[in-house]
Chains A and B, each alone.
Chain A
Amino acid sequence: MGLLEDKVVPGRENRLEACIAYGGTACGLKMQNRSCLKNQERSFSQAGLCQLLPTMGMLLTLPETAVIVHGAIGCASNGVGALIGIRLRNIQNGNLKAEDSNWVSTNLTESDVVHGGEAKLEKAIVEVYERYHPKSIVVFQTCTPSIIGDDVAGIIDRMRERLDIPILAAYCEGFKTKVWATGYDVAFHAIVHGFIESDREGRPPRREPGRQNPRPLVNVINLASVGKPDEDEITRLLNAVGIDVNIGPNFATREAIRNMTQADLTISVCPTHDDYFVEYLSQEYGIPYVLKDMPIGLENTRTWLLDIAGHFGLETKAAEVIAAEEQKVLRAVAKYKPLLAGKSVFLSAGEFRALVTGALFQELGLEVAGVRSYHHDHFGKDYYEKLVQNQRGKNFSVDIANFQPFELTNLLKRIKPDLFVGHVTDNVWAAKLGLPTLTIFRIFDNYIGYRGFYAVAKKAARILRNSSFNRNFAQHTQNPYKAAWYEQNPFAFIKIQQEAEGGQEREAANE
């Protein structure tokens, strides 16, 4: 099964044996059996995300598209935050006149829960179509209508016949998966089925074998959370090697997305994000893909670029570009390296992003003291060990957690890294302990490629120069945990669910 055949997107715990609960070390993680790991859970847990949020984060970027969130009124309330990023991205992209992303909630009430919400949804779709004249409509299926049995698929089938615009269906009920990154799969599923497979014009034909684009044309899968500077760096590097770029599907039109089926290669900059979609393009359109690396840090950028160039026989050109860029960037970061050398860094983000960023910091002379990944799957399998090898065998702590800041706080108190590098919403926990933090999902900044390497070095050196904001803050803020918590193993609340085999030993980090 895959994106094409799946009626609804399977949770990543099933599709990829992804796990969200592990505590131990980099070397210890490798020894774990993944099918056991995926059954680990917590007896104390803090708010996660549900798959609706990443789904919404992606699909709200589609231009001139109306999103209908079929559910209770609160499900998409986080759109407030998503909209901020989308507004800023539109400004970055020069779309100053872009209208705010639009979504509506069917606002299911107690009465709807009793009587069903199908009629309301059906009327809502028609009314949204007539009121906003969108170029496409996305329907989000959420927990409540799913439980009461609303036949959303049936309604969408009917509406596709009735309305002359693409209607996308995103089944993103929060209770269906514990791995919220499944929401990316849901968004890709909605896009593919809405704009390609169930489109009124039919799916674009597969490109004739042998017919090459004049210059290689590659798809680069973008992310709603990655900014224009990074997209520009990717484009710059690929253009320098002689490759043209089609970026999507975030912020892309239906036409641009359909055009992705005609590329020579699909490039992912984040396997955690894209595997479901690139597999589809490969299976259905014969488009090979590059998925295993993320161009963050020198070595990763090098292998990523060579890998892509290799598909087109452009390795020599790529090697030239790499040599020149590396020379240039190493010269530029030389002034920062003495300030960074020997410092320890703790990273917290989606698994692959955290790991490759760890490698980047190693290249700058820092040592990885710990990694917190939001989930764990096979894409990150060997990378932990690689980071250990990079620092001459020195092991480090690993926390696989769908956030769970109580574990992070405990861990950071023990490790006391010199620098904390976190995804948005993670940094505050380090700040409360007085640690300097470097945020890694800021859409105005470079993280990718050579510009990213330089920007991160520069930023780290700046941040380490004055951390008085957080140092002062830490003296006047409290964490909500009892003192006894900090004496416990940070992973004391991870348990193995009954379905799994019992008796597995948990590993303690730093002990």
Chain B
Amino acid sequence: MSSNFIERPRYQCALGGALVTINALNRATAIVHAAPGCASAADGAAKAGSGYWGTSSCSGRATPSTNILEKEVIFGGEHRLAEQIESTLSIVDADLYAVLTGCMTDIIGDDVNSVAGKFRAEGKPVIVAETGGFKGNSSSGYDLILTALIHQYVAKGLPKIPRQINLLGLIPTQDVFWRGNLLELKRLLEELGLQVNTFFSPFDNLASLRTASQAELNVVLSDVHGLGAARAFAEVHEIPYINLPLPIGPTATKEFLEELARHVRISPAALRAIVERETKWYYAYLEHVAELYNDLDLQRFGIVVGDANYSYALTRFISEDLGWIPYFAVVTDMLDDSAQAAVTERFAKLAPELRPRLIFETDTSRIAVALERELAEEQDEYGSPVSPAFVLGSTWDRPLAQGLKAGFLSVTYPVTNRVVTDQAYAGYRGGLRLLTDILSSLLSNR
């Protein structure tokens, strides 16, 4: 890690995170108040890096954007923004219009709140978030836009509905499998009698966001992402939150459900029944690959590279369910000391004999250097005892896997060598999916 730069950042800027978050909301559109390339840079990265989310409704090149130039930088961009909001309202068919600012407009100090406020005063569903890129990365952007929505869009004063919860902490496209993951967890939790708001699946609507203040609990599926949004919910709508790690596979998911049951009322009988049923489901399929796993010796040393959510969740899955040896875990987020401590603490919960070496490293090339250093210490006369190995990371980590002659599956952002649609890796069924994908990749030369 360098204090002077980030190598090939695995995230966009705050504007990018906010823009992608809005684009993942059905019938919401962004109005980007920024220089001409800002929306395209963020969107282009997200659409390719997320297993080809691509361009859909009002995203990509269709994103309304003021495209401000030198003239606005000198004379201010408020007039241009008002014109663009007005015209966007007249042409784009949406139920929520989110003004997102970029570096330029934040630096020149456009009073975007007052421009947007005029439209809101007329009853137009226009909200605004100041998301200048220098305010942070995608994770900050997710928190900034959600905080803006929580203040400006989510209805205030609604009564709480027991057993209704909101899921937070999976940033659209940064979690390449966010749609599948959200829907799989929702399916599972609804079977336990909860009402679950996910907001960002293709089947969600804005009404669930508008009334999200009714939830009795926010569940943040992360130790570092989405906490800002959860805090805003707590402050504005008095919703408490807990953060639980993203659960992948039967062991982690069972613990996730049991932990959740301590915070929201879930019938113990229902919990037992669902855990039993889903576990059976998982093993009914595993039954048929167990022979393969044993005959071919598909146990591996695991090297996991990803954001805090996945780095832990994947490590835990390969260790506790897949029976591998976690060797090295890399967290690629930009984290301050307290966030690093939270992640470290999470990893400390893994059994000591199967706890990997954990590093925080944003820079892809430094990951290889750190791993080489680690491996050099292991070297003996017969080569490396850390083999066979398998790398679960982003497409950018494929050269690392090739260098180690290790297996490889891209799971964490950016994923550019796979197409991701409804796949989920969360929960029981997601765990089975991940296992299937991992084992398939090991057999791909057959």
Within 8 A of A (CB), among B39-78: 39-45, 48-49, 54-58, 60-70, 72-73
Q: How far is the CA of A105 from the CA of B31 in the complex (A)?
A: 26
A46 near B64: Cβ-Cβ < 8 Å: yes
Report B-chain residues with C-beta under 8 Å of the C-beta of A441. none
Q: How far is the CA of A44 from the CA of B83 in the complex (A)?
A: 8
A44 near B91: Cβ-Cβ < 8 Å: yes
Given contacts A45-B84, A175-B69, contact A73 B9 (CB under 8 A): yes
Q: How far is the CA of A175 from the CA of B39 in the complex (A)?
A: 13
Tell me the smallest distance from the CB of A102 to a CB of chain B, in Å: 7
Given contacts A47-B40, A76-B41, A105-B9, contact A480 B133 (CB under 8 A): no
Within 8 A of B (CB), among A33-64: 43-53
B5 near A48: Cβ-Cβ < 8 Å: no
Q: Mark B27-43, 1 if CB is under 8 A from A, else 0.
A: 00100100111111111
Report B-chain residues with C-beta under 8 Å of the C-beta of A482. 90-93
Report B-chain residues with C-beta under 8 Å of the C-beta of A143. 35, 103-104
A74 near B8: Cβ-Cβ < 8 Å: no
Interface centre among B8, B37, B44, B134 (most CB of A within 10 A): B37
B13 at the interface (CB under 8 A from A): yes
Given contacts A72-B134, A144-B134, contact A84 B416 (CB under 8 A): yes
B107 near A147: Cβ-Cβ < 8 Å: yes
Q: Which stretch from A107-115, A330-338, A358-366 is at the chain B interface?
A: A107-115
A177 at the interface (CB under 8 A from B): yes
Q: Mark B114-135, 1 if CB is under 8 A from A, else 0.
A: 0000000000000000001111
Report A-chain residues with C-beta under 8 Å of the C-beta of B48. 80-81, 84
Report A-chain residues with C-beta under 8 Å of the C-beta of B414. 80
Q: Mark A163-204, 1 if CB is under 8 A from B, else 0.
A: 000000000011111101000000000000000000000000
A78 near B92: Cβ-Cβ < 8 Å: no
A304 at the interface (CB under 8 A from B): no
Report B-chain residues with C-beta under 8 Å of the C-beta of A178. 36, 67, 69
Q: How far is the CA of A477 from the CA of B62 in the complex (A)?
A: 15
Tell me the smallest distance from the CB of B349 to a CB of chain A, in Å: 31
Tell me the smallest distance from the CB of B20 to a CB of chain A, in Å: 11
Residue of A nearest to B49 (CB): A80
Given contacts A73-B11, A144-B133, A485-B91, contact A102 B365 (CB under 8 A): yes
Q: How far is the CA of A147 from the CA of B133 in the complex (A)?
A: 14
Residue of B nearest to A74 (CB): B13
Report B-chain residues with C-beta under 8 Å of the C-beta of A102. 7-8, 365
Report A-chain residues with C-beta under 8 Å of the C-beta of B108. 147
Q: How far is the CA of A74 from the CA of B174 in the complex (A)?
A: 14
- Quick one: which of A46, A81, A127, A174 contacts B61, CB cutoff 8 A? A46
A288 at the interface (CB under 8 A from B): no
Report A-chain residues with C-beta under 8 Å of the C-beta of B41. 50, 52-53, 74-78
Given contacts A47-B65, A180-B36, contact A80 B134 (CB under 8 A): no
Residue of B nearest to A113 (CB): B134
How many of A's residues come within 8 Å of B, CB to CB? 75
A312 at the interface (CB under 8 A from B): no
B133 near A45: Cβ-Cβ < 8 Å: no
Q: How far is the CA of A71 from the CA of B103 in the complex (A)?
A: 10
Tell me the smallest distance from the CB of B364 to a CB of chain A, in Å: 8
A124 near B69: Cβ-Cβ < 8 Å: no
B37 near A403: Cβ-Cβ < 8 Å: no
A478 at the interface (CB under 8 A from B): yes
Within 8 A of B (CB), among A309-342: none
Given contacts A84-B48, A174-B37, contact A493 B87 (CB under 8 A): yes
Given contacts A72-B133, A107-B9, A113-B107, contact A80 B62 (CB under 8 A): no
B399 at the interface (CB under 8 A from A): yes
Within 8 A of B (CB), among A391-439: 402-406, 425-426, 428-429
Residue of A nearest to B5 (CB): A104
B88 at the interface (CB under 8 A from A): yes
B294 at the interface (CB under 8 A from A): no
Q: How far is the CA of A124 from the CA of B363 in the complex (A)?
A: 14
Interface centre among A78, A80, A105, A176 (most CB of B within 10 A): A80
Given contacts A47-B65, A80-B414, A406-B62, contact A68 B365 (CB under 8 A): no
How many of B's residues come within 8 Å of A, CB to CB? 72
A106 at the interface (CB under 8 A from B): yes
Report A-chain residues with C-beta under 8 Å of the C-beta of B42. 74, 77
B306 at the interface (CB under 8 A from A): no
B132 near A45: Cβ-Cβ < 8 Å: no
Q: How far is the CA of A103 from the CA of B396 in the complex (A)?
A: 13
Report B-chain residues with C-beta under 8 Å of the C-beta of A406. 62, 91
Q: How far is the CA of A45 from the CA of B40 in the complex (A)?
A: 13
B60 near A481: Cβ-Cβ < 8 Å: no
Report A-chain residues with C-beta under 8 Å of the C-beta of B69. 175-178
Q: How far is the CA of A45 from the CA of B32 in the complex (A)?
A: 10
B9 near A147: Cβ-Cβ < 8 Å: no
Q: How far is the CA of A493 from the CA of B108 in the complex (A)?
A: 26
B62 near A46: Cβ-Cβ < 8 Å: yes
Q: How far is the CA of A193 from the CA of B218 in the complex (A)?
A: 56
A226 at the interface (CB under 8 A from B): no
Residue of A nearest to B48 (CB): A81
Q: How far is the CA of A281 from the CA of B431 in the complex (A)?
A: 59
B137 at the interface (CB under 8 A from A): yes
B419 at the interface (CB under 8 A from A): no
Given contacts A74-B133, A108-B134, A482-B91, contact A50 B37 (CB under 8 A): yes
B445 at the interface (CB under 8 A from A): no
Report B-chain residues with C-beta under 8 Å of the C-beta of A176. 69-70
A242 at the interface (CB under 8 A from B): no
Tell me the smallest distance from the CB of B416 to a CB of chain A, in Å: 5
B6 at the interface (CB under 8 A from A): yes
Tell me the smallest distance from the CB of A41 to a CB of chain B, in Å: 9
Q: How far is the CA of A52 from the CA of B45 in the complex (A)?
A: 14
A47 near B43: Cβ-Cβ < 8 Å: yes
Within 8 A of A (CB), among B122-161: 132-137
A481 near B92: Cβ-Cβ < 8 Å: yes
B49 near A480: Cβ-Cβ < 8 Å: no
A124 near B5: Cβ-Cβ < 8 Å: yes
Tell me the smallest distance from the CB of A113 to a CB of chain B, in Å: 5
Task: Please list the 3 inter-chain residue pairs (A to B) with the smallest Cβ-Cβ separation, ordered nearest first.
Answer: A50-B37, A74-B13, A72-B133
Using A47-B67, A402-B36 as known contacts, list a sample of 8 further A-B pairs with CB atoms less than 8 Å apart, ordered by residue number in A: A46-B61, A48-B65, A73-B6, A74-B42, A76-B41, A102-B365, A120-B4, A178-B67
Cβ contacts A to B, 26 pairs, < 8 Å: A43-B87, A47-B39, A47-B40, A47-B64, A53-B41, A72-B133, A73-B134, A74-B38, A74-B41, A77-B11, A80-B414, A81-B49, A107-B6, A107-B9, A108-B134, A120-B4, A144-B104, A144-B133, A175-B70, A402-B36, A425-B61, A426-B61, A481-B91, A482-B93, A483-B93, A493-B87
